[in-house]
Structure 1
Amino acid sequence: TRSILMMGVLLCLVYVWSRRISGQIEKSIETFSSLLEKASIDSFTINPKDLPLSEFRDIAVSTNKILIDRRQVEKELKYSNLLEAAVAEVSRLFAFYDKVEYKTVLQIMGESVSANRAYVFKIQNGGDKISNTVEWCDSETLPQIDMLQNLEIGIFSWWMAQLRNGENIIIENIDDLPIEASTEKKNFQDQKIRSLAAVPIWSRNRRLSGFMGFDDTDKTRVWSESEIEMLQVVGEMISNDRVRRASEDKIAYFGHIFENSINEIYLFDRDTLNFVQVNQAAQNNLGYTLAEFLKLTPLDVHPKLTPRSFSKQIRFLINGEKDSIVFESIHKRKDHSFYDVEVHLQLLNYEQKMLFTAIVIDISYRKKLEIQLQQTQKMEAIGTLAGGIAHDFNNILFPVIGFSEMIMHDLPEDSPIKKQVQAILDGASRAKNLVQQILTFSRQTEDEARPLKIEFILNEVLTLARASFPSTIKITKDIQKRLGMVMADPTQIHQVAMNLITNALHAMEENGGDLRVILSRIDVADTSGPVSDMLPGPYLCLEVSDTGTGMDAYTRTRILEPYFTTKAKGKGTGLGLSVVHGIVKNLQGELVVESQAGKGSSFLVYLPLIIPKKEENTIETIPLVQLTGNERILLVDDERPVIEMLEQMLLRFGYQVTPMDQSLEALNLFGRMPDEFDLVITDMTMPELTGDKLIMEIKKLRPDIPVILCTGFSEKIINGRINNAKPDKILMKPVAKDELLKNIRFVLDKPKLLT
């Protein structure tokens, strides 16, 4: 205040200096010199007696002017202090609170400058849109925030250009906007804005992120330099706060991902290899606490890694040759158990420190699936091989059985040779059953549920498995007959029995023991079932028991889980019992496990019985007076022994036979005389033209002719290969004489029976 007063006095001195023209300047200078000596901070006094009247009048006028200027300066100073106080209050909010309400900030600033509205706009949608994100209005002003959302930036080109150039936008009177701002002018007028001031808000990388501004809807006004500076300062505070919040949100977001990822995530030092941070998944999977991890390195949890091998792997990252590397390894848990992992490793600069970031994925399940896939592919290969063997073997058996049956037919009842021929037929029949078992084992039989007597399958499985059992294992079976039928697929029952018997073998292969296979019937009442939720009714019970190693309580609780196994590596995949359990449950049955460590195990399979039904056989329902006939048959097969046997057999029963061992020649013959044949019997696998294609061509020439496909492959394979041409009947080699003759009469007589 003293400085302002002194400046006023100096102005008076200038006035007095101008009076030197009247010749009284010297005295005035002396008088004012004495006055300066009397000047104080608050006021000073002039004695009129000390001055001439004219000079006193001049000084009075000057003093009044000084007082007016002083009041203006004081007013401006007070306003400046008010703005400074407002900025200080906003600064305090940002300094002491993490989440400052921007509306509170706008209210403080808006009230301090007597604005009607204050707001913050934010650029969104990659720079295409802009929205009013927060707004304050005084009690007399209508809010605009709801109408100022997702505005197209392109329509405010003049406005945005000013902001992008870093310019403050000061509009004292909206009516004075230039013609190029016509869109902005209309928008402002619609909001009843008379005057406004706005400053740009920048992001961390100095890109325009929005703007902050004041509106005056009452009057036009001149915005002072102090008000603009305040806008800039607070705009900078909001900009910094936005950046801080975005950074914190990003840190929180990635922190959440880090902690809640199901994959293990590790950070470890490039130089020492010590872990500096691990997530919860790593702690859960490996069993270490965070404090324990911080004392370890990757070499402690990767037993396959050595310092040398690990250095060799990470050198590509250290040298900058690669951005990341991926490799498979094994993790060792704190309890010394192991599991397969896939490691994704990067080297990152984090706060001026080089850290390795490892994302580790548990691939145990994938590895087991790969093993399962390999096993499946192996079984498919075995199945393909089995199918080929079965085809060749059936072609060998077919003439053996056919000629033997013809010999048996020709021999007198008392012939001593008849017994020997019967032995040939019995051996061939056992060989036929063996081929069927191989096809069943390799899954090349048709999968379909049907009424089934499972005792026959059990006997087949035991016959097949007996060859692999050592002599130290004694097999006892008690398979009752005529117990009834269950609705099941033979392959699945075969699989259940084979898995249970194989498990028993593995349990006893070291020390030997007894294997018992029992098939019986039980009737379950409402409350007497072996399993609490079994439905009442009759059941077949298959019990497979062994005197092997047995299982403890823990193993019993997990034995049905997929991939759980107690067998040594290479002995099994852990899928057998889970597959058995799945099959049994699908058949509405139950699987019960009884076992004690050191005392063996019993697996009991309960399958619901069905009411026995007579198996439908369309051939048997057709009345056949005899198996003979005189129709003309075109016989096609590339195996000479087969075609010779069939020709002799059919000739014996009165048929006229044209044998062909070349399928193309057979087609050419049929093409020349299609009406000369009543039936075609063909093989499937033949050179030049396969059976399915031969049937298709024959049906084109004569759609009504019946065709029998006789093949050494399984029906499942044949059905998969035949698309456009379906035979009237498929017979599986080796087919017995009576079955062949019945089916010939069936396909020949079927049209007559239908008319």
Structure 2
Amino acid sequence: MNQLPLVASHIDWRTVFDAMKDPAMILDLEYRIVVANASMEQMAGLAQEQLVGRHCYEVFYGVNEPPEGCPYSLLIRSHTDLPVSLVMECQDKMFSVAVTALHDSEGRGIGTLNVAKEITEQKMVEAILRRSLRVQRMVTHCNQALVRIEDENELLATICQIMVDQGGYRLAWIGYGLDDENSTVLPKASAGYEEGYIDTLKLTWADTERGRGPTGSAIRTGRPVICRDIGLDPNFSIWRAEAQQRDFSASIALPLPLRSGRGALNLYAAESSAFDEQEVHLLKQLADDLAYGISVIRNQESYRHTVRALRDSEKKYRSLIANAYDAIILVDAESGFVLEANAAAERLLGRSQAEIVGMHRNEFCPGVDSELCQKILTCQPQGLHNLPEDMYVVRGEGRLIPVQVSASVVTVGSKKVIQGIFRDIGQKKQAEERLSRAQKMESLGALAGGIAHDFNNILSPILGYAELCLSMVDPSDKLHAFMGEILAATHRAKDLVRQIQTFSRKGEQESHPLLIQTIVKEALKFLRSSLPATIELHVDLDVAGGYVLCDPAQIHQMIMALCTNAYQAMLAKGGDLTVILRRVMVGGEHQVVPGLSPGSYLCLTVQDTGIGIAGHDISRIFEPYFSTKGPGEGTGMGLAVVDGIVRQCGGVVEVESQLGQGTTFRVYLPEIVDKVVPTEEDAVIGLSTGNQHILLVDDEPVVVTTMERMLTTLGYQVTSASDGLAALDIFQSQPDVFALVLTDQTMPRMSGIDLARGVLSLRPGLPVIILSGYEYLNSEDELATSGIKAFLRKPVGLAELARTLTRILTGD
């Protein structure tokens, strides 16, 4: 028999209502509780009588009006009888609330049936699943970024942005621990709701108060640090206020195990439930992957930097080689063949780079240096540098060039290469030779100056007495002619001494009108004695030649240089040396000489029948230090000096030469037309005289005697002294007696300059004349400063002495 009707008759709706495991209650239209089942009483923690009549939102939410999302309100606003279901949070639990409308017998709404099913655990599982999926999705995007991005800063910024966008974190940032004295944590990238938060951190990874937070501890210990409740964690107290202002509830700091350096990945979440075990596990893997990715990027960047540096280094090396002043030649260590050469090597060897590359080292090393070249340009221990060696290399045209070579071994691939650096030391050797010659010349100059001084003292009485005798003898007397010859010879000796002094002093030359025939004759006399018997000298001098404005010592030097070159060109086979002097006209209807203006010139021709000069050398023979002779056979300065002297005189030099037939030099010097030059004999006539008292000072007795005779002949009174101190004593005893002091410069105990200073201190303005056998080296400014009025070179002639004294004493 069916028992269901019987059971149904004994069960009412309240029994069923209370038997429901899910909390349920009936509300009237005013949200008041009409009835609640036992489960609802248990959930609310109140008895039936405490619930009935109270508003549901007052009981469960403690508010005075329905909360946002109230299902009853939704049902009323929907204007439908269909049930409404909604998830709500109440008393820290999650519920799925189903609301069904209740009607009376007439169909009018009288309230609602509200059934709540707790789904807290389900929601938690769903939330965990969603968070896990979110983190996994985030990790996937981060891994894609790790594969794709090659720049470290871009990678860090992208990872932070992905963690915020895909991971749902409120803030993500990455910091590196520095090795400075404060162990500073330097933020490198961030994304999310930061709003200046990172600037307030001022973190360190040292074991200090600011280093014991999550970031500093993670970097220092190498372990993740989780702060599940920022509001309560004591290690977060320094930064708590700033964090809570930005709704940060939990954080995690994950160490980045970098191969070089240290760092941390920092995440902040709004939920305190964040960072469960599974999430932390995924984040740790991500941090490890990020650290590895950073290391890979750094390695790649280091590699790219190394490659760039190598390329730059190679470019710089090639640029340095290409632009190096020294010749650089790379030689295969085993075969000895040239692999590479720079532009300087082309200039040094006189060959193109194409010619040099492929040459054997012995091809540019002369036989005399072949062993040394092989020693330098052969394989040696790696990195060993040869000490510089001096040797010669052969240019393309066969000329030897002195070089200094140093070499080192370098490895190119598997091949050992010798890098030879060749420095042209031709100029250095020339400089050394010039210095050696200059030192020799200086020594010879000092010797020549001393000899000239002594010789001038010897000439002084000869010249003085000859002029005195000439003035006393009747011109018709034979003795007058004899004395004239003595006087002429003395002047030639005087000019010779001046040449020696010019050689020794290296000073300015004095040009004056001169008949060069005499100098040519004297030079050829000197040269004739040195010519071998195989060379015949022919001389043709125009005695009617005019005057030339020049320095006699320079003209003598020029003639000697041209004639020496000529006879040296004929030493091997002998020949004829011809010297011709002619007056010629240039310009107009006469011959044209390049570089000369129309006018009258003296042409000196020096011709030889020697070996001649090659055509390609003709244009260089006047260059300083250029020589076609072998080492030790010439300085290369002779013709350069000749060219300089001729140019100084306003002339030019022409040269013609043919190999095997000889060479001709023509020197054109401008003639001084209508220039009257008085002879010494004429100058003696009509001498200026005086009667003043002169203090004469010289340490050579013969010079004192001669000068006394000359001065008294001119009418002057003379008091003489043998040195400066004696003269100063005489002057101090009677300073107003003397009208002029005539003193030698080089004397024992006191020089002429010092004597001048002494007498001028006693009597300012007194005229003082310096007389010396040396070529005076003091400047005109120094002479003027010392009060010196004039300087006379020994031996001084009577006429020159008379003119100088008259000029100084009378002011004419």
What range is the shorter-chain TM-score in? Answer: 0.5 to 0.7
Q: Distance in 2 between matches of 1:481 and 1:498?
A: 23
Q: Distance in 1 between matches of 2:177 and 2:617?
A: 77
- What displacement does 1:364 show? 0.4
1:263–1:282: 8 Å Cα contact kept in structure 2? yes
* Aligned-partner SS, 2:627: coil
Q: Distance in 2 between matches of 1:371 and 1:201?
A: 70
Q: Residue deviations 1:459-502, cap 9 Å, x none?
A: 4144224322426332334457565655x666655554443333
1:543–1:407 CA distance, 2 compared to 1 (3 A): closer
Q: Distance in 2 between matches of 1:458 and 1:254?
A: 65
The equivalences for 1:588-737 within 5 A come to: 590-606=652-668, 627-716=688-777, 724-737=785-798
Q: Distance in 2 between matches of 1:229 and 1:314?
A: 49
The answer to whether 1:301 aligns with 2:365 is yes
1:637–1:683: 8 Å Cα contact kept in structure 2? yes
Match of 1:427 in 2: 489
* Aligned-partner SS, 1:330: strand
Q: Distance in 1 between matches of 2:462 and 2:264?
A: 101
- What displacement does 1:674 show? 0.9
1:526–1:536: 8 Å Cα contact kept in structure 2? no
1:461–1:175 CA distance, 2 compared to 1 (3 A): farther
Q: Distance in 2 between matches of 1:553 and 1:112?
A: 81
Match of 1:41 in 2: none
Q: Based on CA coordinates, which of the two structures has the bigger radius of gyration?
A: 2
* Aligned-partner SS, 2:788: coil
Higher relative contact order (CA 8 A, sep 6+): 1
Match of 2:635 in 1: 573
Match of 1:406 among 468, 471, 495: 468
Match of 1:522 in 2: 585
1:683–1:709: 8 Å Cα contact kept in structure 2? yes
Higher helix share: 1
Match of 1:392 among 442, 445, 454: 454
1:666–1:443 CA distance, 2 compared to 1 (3 A): closer
* Aligned-partner SS, 2:585: strand
The answer to whether 1:460 aligns with 2:519 is yes
2:387–2:406: 8 Å Cα contact kept in structure 1? yes
- What displacement does 1:260 show? 2.5
1:541–1:604: 8 Å Cα contact kept in structure 2? no
Match of 2:401 among 336, 339, 345: 339
Q: Residue deviations 1:31-78, cap 9 Å, x none?
A: xxxxxxxxxxxxxxxxxxxxxxxxxxxxx9999999998887676666
1:110–1:540 CA distance, 2 compared to 1 (3 A): farther
- What displacement does 1:601 show? 2.4
1:200–1:528 CA distance, 2 compared to 1 (3 A): farther
1:387–1:444: 8 Å Cα contact kept in structure 2? no
2:655–2:665: 8 Å Cα contact kept in structure 1? yes
1:334–1:527 CA distance, 2 compared to 1 (3 A): same
Match of 2:325 among 233, 252, 262: 262
Match of 1:474 in 2: 537
Q: Distance in 1 between matches of 2:182 and 2:313?
A: 27
The equivalences for 1:139-154 within 5 A come to: none
Letter of the structure 1 residue corresponding to residue 628 of structure 2: T
The answer to whether 1:233 aligns with 2:296 is yes
Q: Give the unaligned 5+ runs of structure 2.
A: 1-118, 164-174, 205-209, 211-241, 243-247, 269-273, 276-282
The equivalences for 1:19-418 within 5 A come to: 80=139, 82-89=141-148, 114=161, 161=180, 173=194, 174-176=196-198, 177-179=200-202, 225=287, 226=289, 229-266=292-329, 279-282=342-345, 284-286=347-349, 287=351, 296=360, 301=365, 303=367, 305=369, 325-333=387-395, 336-345=398-407, 357-411=419-473, 417-418=479-480
- What displacement does 1:367 show? 1.0
Letter of the structure 1 residue corresponding to residue 320 of structure 2: I
Q: Distance in 2 between matches of 1:212 and 1:62?
A: 34
Q: Residue deviations 1:424-459, cap 9 Å, x none?
A: 3333233223222333455556435x6x44x53464
* Aligned-partner SS, 2:736: helix
1:443–1:491: 8 Å Cα contact kept in structure 2? no
2:256–2:290: 8 Å Cα contact kept in structure 1? no
Q: Distance in 2 between matches of 1:214 and 1:616?
A: 112
Question: Greater shift after overlay, 459-468 or 534-543?
Answer: 534-543
1:289–1:170 CA distance, 2 compared to 1 (3 A): closer
1:198–1:231: 8 Å Cα contact kept in structure 2? no
* Aligned-partner SS, 2:619: helix
Q: Residue deviations 1:256-307, cap 9 Å, x none?
A: 2123312123556889988776545335533486897677458973755575
2:739–2:767: 8 Å Cα contact kept in structure 1? yes
2:596–2:652: 8 Å Cα contact kept in structure 1? no
Question: Greater shift after overlay, 605-614 or 705-714?
Answer: 605-614
Letter of the structure 2 residue corresponding to residue 563 of structure 1: Y
2:695–2:742: 8 Å Cα contact kept in structure 1? yes
* Aligned-partner SS, 1:467: helix
Q: Distance in 1 between matches of 2:702 and 2:260?
A: 90
Q: Residue deviations 1:683-721, cap 9 Å, x none?
A: 122111122221221222212222222221224568698
* Aligned-partner SS, 2:764: coil
1:303–1:332: 8 Å Cα contact kept in structure 2? no
1:675–1:237 CA distance, 2 compared to 1 (3 A): same
Letter of the structure 2 residue corresponding to residue 282 of structure 1: A
Match of 2:220 in 1: none
- What displacement does 1:540 show? 3.0
Q: Distance in 1 between matches of 2:668 and 2:768?
A: 44
* Aligned-partner SS, 2:388: strand
For the aligned residue pairs, the C-alpha RMSD in angstroms reads 5.4
Match of 1:744 in 2: 805
1:106–1:744 CA distance, 2 compared to 1 (3 A): same
Q: Distance in 2 between matches of 1:550 and 1:353?
A: 51
1:326–1:722 CA distance, 2 compared to 1 (3 A): farther
Match of 1:54 in 2: none
* Aligned-partner SS, 1:594: strand
- What displacement does 1:318 show? 6.6
1:325–1:346: 8 Å Cα contact kept in structure 2? no
1:539–1:608: 8 Å Cα contact kept in structure 2? yes
Match of 1:19 in 2: none
The alignment of Structure 1 onto Structure 2 pairs a total of residues equal to: 611
1:721–1:310 CA distance, 2 compared to 1 (3 A): farther
- What displacement does 1:379 show? 2.8
1:633–1:678: 8 Å Cα contact kept in structure 2? yes
Q: Residue deviations 1:103-148, cap 9 Å, x none?
A: xx977986687589xxxxxxxxxxxxxxxxxxxxxxxxxxxxxxxx
Q: Distance in 1 between matches of 2:520 and 2:256?
A: 85
1:643–1:659: 8 Å Cα contact kept in structure 2? yes
* Aligned-partner SS, 2:699: coil
Match of 2:231 in 1: none
